[in-house]
Structure 1
Amino acid sequence: MLQKPTYPLEARAAIRSLSSSQIREVANSAMGRNDVLPFWFGETDQPTAAFIRDAAAASLDAGETFYAQNLGRPYLRDAIAAYMSDLHRREMGADRICVVGSGVTGLAIVSQLMLSPGDRVVAITPLWPNITEIPRIAGANVERVSLTVRDGEWSLDLDRLLAALTPDTRMLIVNSPNNPTGWTISDEQVAAITAHCRKLGIWVVADDVYERLVYDPAVRSAPSFLRHFDAEERLISVNSFSKAWSMTGWRAGWITAPAALAADLAKVIEYNFSCVFEPAQRAATIALQQGEAEVADLRTRLGRTRALMASGLRDIPGIEVPEAGGAMYVFFRIAGQPDSVMTAKRLVNEVGLGLAPGSAFGSEGNGWLRWCHAIADEARLTDGIGRLETFVRRNS
């Protein structure tokens, strides 16, 4: 009898080397437990606004369940272009807009579009792991430039970043406001990075998913590279409806890129997901056109809950809470707790508190914890702070 040849049943090496989600590792161990307060994922506890849901329902009732254009329906691309032009005070044509199935899908599409094996990518970290792992799927090498805490707030060492952006760098990835720290880039830093990358021909990919979620009520959005780069320069912005419009489950986002890339973007989309479901596109359009009050309400709530969290945590001995400019997270650490995953699991098991381990966002995050405070029920946050204080006092 002939012996069958045996081959390993495994994915390619680049996939096997990817890091698994430590957030999921902690959350999966306790998901569904009624005694755990979950703050590990980045979303509000409020459902999408009724008028947005109604737009999707009307689309379904009208039978809009067919294929759409790869780059998105023209009505949504026009609405995004109008919104972006108003927000950033620069005319942006719909020919620069590409609708994608979520912000993370947009990042994956950009990676496939722009990166080749061996390309050098620089990222400002700590960072949501999807952003740094996706380039590795394409075979790129990712170099990390870490934020630091300076004078009690998250800070970027601009000189160190510019030194890392060498002529052999293909791409810089910037997420601001940053997940997990909330660090928010300044206009001066945007200008300096723009000039440097323009000179060296480096692509800038801006993850702008949290750009509306800034704590300063005097500004509509965080400083943006879209206000510094010209339309046909090497800048790609990735955005999403998930956070500012409380639409995490809808999986809808967009890319703003040079119009010259549109035809190739359409190809990559076709070979990934083809198009975004039209009821989701109808909902996204209404969100842009009628949702400013929703965004404003969320921002107000985030400012209030951030202040509540920072004050409550700082009252607990041994906890460090640096200041930050935006997003929906408090990134903090407990003295004497250097292992983030172990600490996060102990918090679940000992006091029923579900947080994301800082090491999920890179080794520079180890020892830190991320707490999502986009919660309307502030009593739950207060309860969570009390549980954390119990844990710290037991283990001090």
Structure 2
Amino acid sequence: MRSSASTARAGSIGRRTARARGGGRSARARASPGTSKRVRELRDEGAYAVGDAARALERRGRRVVRLEIGQPQFETPENVCEAGVGAIERGETRYSAPAGTAALREAVRGYVARTRGVTYDVDEVIVGPGAKPGLFLPALAIVDEGDEVVYPDPGFPTYAAMVSTAGGTRVPVALTNDGSSFDMDALERAVNEKTKMIVINSPGNPTGGVMPRADVERVAALAKKFNCWVLSDEIYSRLRYDDDGNGASESDDGLEDIFSIAALDGMKERTILVDGFSKTYCMTGWRLGWMCCPKALAERIRLLTVHSVGCVAPFTQAAGVEALTGPQDSVRAMREEYRARRDYLVDALNAIPGIRCPKPQGAFYVFPEFTYDCTAKELADYLLEDAGVALLPGTDFGVRGEKHLRLSYVGSMDDLREAVALMTTSLRRKFPASFDSM
């Protein structure tokens, strides 16, 4: 039998051991202090989450047709790659100016003047690692606690995330049934004296919709009436397929006319124009984008760049200069290939019982609606597991995306045909009544 002293020593040792292993009350005291409310509310971007699930299936030996992410399958144009490699070989591998190199900012300035007919000073151009800083940093620079930000629902998930992170109030507004624009009556009800910013995205993600000029003009009128900013996300501006009345003529240098809200009277001084290289020039991994805005705001955004990302690699920016100023043949060819894929996919989806798919006028997504007795998340999960087709539930883009799916048609035509065949077989097995009623 142990003495009381031995027992006491054993208890002391046990307590020390427990503390060393992280147990007991002291471990709770040393637990992580926690995170802010604004980051606790952040959600993953659906394309990355579904991509992870698809890769897990592929590691198990499954064939998965990947239609979940908006990443062009075309290679970066050769002349653009050569410009980037040449910059590395010249030793352009050090820090650059936080706002971007003078050469790229001048190239962006000229590109915007030629495509949008809007002239900016170089000091009104800010370069970032992708277009997302052009969304997030202006929100941080503009939005205060309690300010309202209006954005499309369904819409790109970063819009909701940037508003929450900035401490603002999210005001999602429904789109029209074809996804081309806001429900303009709903938009006019949503914008008020508390509105600090309206976000527009045309052509849009996830619907591929292109806002009619008349609707853009109504957005401009609201912005001027309530003295608020407009953030115009124009990342898909070069991917328009039809004569939509928004300008489709092409100049001698291969650049199309692009209608931008910034070109409207009184709007340049209240617009943040955001674009980038990922979609147009197949440069997703290069991480390069830009924004144009009034000089006073640009300086605030430059300071946010200094204290967040610092700067963008100079050799990446050299590639960007070549992309904007060099031949545009690859963009034209890519756009025509996407047009053919869009036309095939819209017709093929509309031939599946229980699915209705509008024809989008831009970007490289379709956003079909379905009538099956399940949620969008349940259907997307089922099609991944049963059919081996990776796509996104519409609810990844907002609550009004329920009963919709988003499919990206950046893959090959063979992939699209295979995906439709696999989906049809799986849907027939899961929802036979919809097919029997044909």
- Which TM-score applies when normalising by structure 1? 0.94
Offset from partner CA, 1:169-217 (integer Å, 9 cap, x none): 1111111111001111111111121122112111111111111111126
Displacement of 1:232 after TM fit? 5.6
Does the 8 Å CA contact 1:331/1:370 hold for their aligned counterparts? yes
Select which of 101, 117, 121 maps to 1:89: 117
Displacement of 1:389 after TM fit? 1.0
Q: Which runs of 5+ in 2 are unaligned?
A: 1-15, 20-24, 250-255, 432-438
Distance change (3 Å), C-alpha of 1:130 and 1:6:
same
| Secondary structure in structure 1 of the residue aligned to 2:126 | strand
Displacement of 1:339 after TM fit? 1.4
Distance change (3 Å), C-alpha of 1:174 and 1:355:
same
| Secondary structure in structure 2 of the residue aligned to 1:260 | helix
Amino acid aligned to 1:206: S
Select which of 54, 59, 66 maps to 1:30: 54
Select which of 75, 79, 87 maps to 1:51: 79
Match of 1:386 in 2: 421
Select which of 286, 299, 313 maps to 1:250: 286
* Separation in structure 2 between the aligned mates of residue 261 and residue 231 of structure 1, nearest angstrom: 14
Select which of 404, 410, 432 maps to 1:374: 410
Matches within 5 A, 1:113-152: 113-149=141-177
Q: Are positions 1:101 and 2:129 aligned together?
A: yes
* Separation in structure 2 between the aligned mates of residue 154 and residue 96 of structure 1, nearest angstrom: 30
* Separation in structure 2 between the aligned mates of residue 85 and residue 181 of structure 1, nearest angstrom: 28
| Secondary structure in structure 2 of the residue aligned to 1:78 | helix
Displacement of 1:25 after TM fit? 2.9
Does the 8 Å CA contact 2:262/2:268 hold for their aligned counterparts? no
Select which of 255, 259, 267 maps to 1:223: 259
Offset from partner CA, 1:148-187 (integer Å, 9 cap, x none): 31xx664532122122110111111111111001111111
Distance change (3 Å), C-alpha of 1:222 and 1:90:
closer
Displacement of 1:269 after TM fit? 0.6
Does the 8 Å CA contact 1:76/1:285 hold for their aligned counterparts? yes
Select which of 42, 46, 67 maps to 1:18: 42
Distance change (3 Å), C-alpha of 1:231 and 1:320:
closer
Displacement of 1:27 after TM fit? 2.2
Match of 1:295 in 2: 331
Offset from partner CA, 1:248-300 (integer Å, 9 cap, x none): 11110001101222322221110011111001100111000114212211211
* Separation in structure 1 between the aligned mates of residue 267 and residue 221 of structure 2, nearest angstrom: 15
Amino acid aligned to 1:260: A
* Separation in structure 2 between the aligned mates of residue 20 and residue 277 of structure 1, nearest angstrom: 26
| Secondary structure in structure 2 of the residue aligned to 1:81 | helix
* Separation in structure 1 between the aligned mates of residue 354 and residue 257 of structure 2, nearest angstrom: 33
Does the 8 Å CA contact 1:229/1:235 hold for their aligned counterparts? no
Q: Which runs of 5+ in 1 are unaligned?
A: none
Select which of 175, 184, 187 maps to 2:210: 184
Does 287-296 or 243-252 show the bigger shift?
287-296
Offset from partner CA, 1:212-265 (integer Å, 9 cap, x none): 111126443553112115476211111111101111111100011012223222
Displacement of 1:55 after TM fit? 0.8
Distance change (3 Å), C-alpha of 1:200 and 1:214:
same
Match of 2:221 in 1: 195
Question: Which has more radius of gyration?
Answer: 2
Does the 8 Å CA contact 1:22/1:341 hold for their aligned counterparts? no
| Secondary structure in structure 2 of the residue aligned to 1:310 | helix
* Separation in structure 1 between the aligned mates of residue 216 and residue 181 of structure 2, nearest angstrom: 14
* Separation in structure 2 between the aligned mates of residue 263 and residue 96 of structure 1, nearest angstrom: 8
Amino acid aligned to 1:125: D
| Secondary structure in structure 1 of the residue aligned to 2:211 | coil
Amino acid aligned to 1:327: A
* Separation in structure 2 between the aligned mates of residue 24 and residue 274 of structure 1, nearest angstrom: 25
Select which of 215, 231, 256 maps to 1:205: 231
Amino acid aligned to 2:375: D
Larger relative contact order (C-alpha < 8 A, sep ≥ 6)? 1
Amino acid aligned to 2:366: V
Displacement of 1:334 after TM fit? 2.6
* Separation in structure 2 between the aligned mates of residue 88 and residue 56 of structure 1, nearest angstrom: 26
Distance change (3 Å), C-alpha of 1:24 and 1:91:
closer
* Separation in structure 1 between the aligned mates of residue 96 and residue 210 of structure 2, nearest angstrom: 36
Does 56-65 or 89-98 show the bigger shift?
89-98
Does the 8 Å CA contact 1:176/1:208 hold for their aligned counterparts? yes
| Secondary structure in structure 2 of the residue aligned to 1:233 | helix
Match of 2:347 in 1: 311
Distance change (3 Å), C-alpha of 1:113 and 1:155:
closer
Amino acid aligned to 1:216: D
Does 2-11 or 332-341 show the bigger shift?
2-11
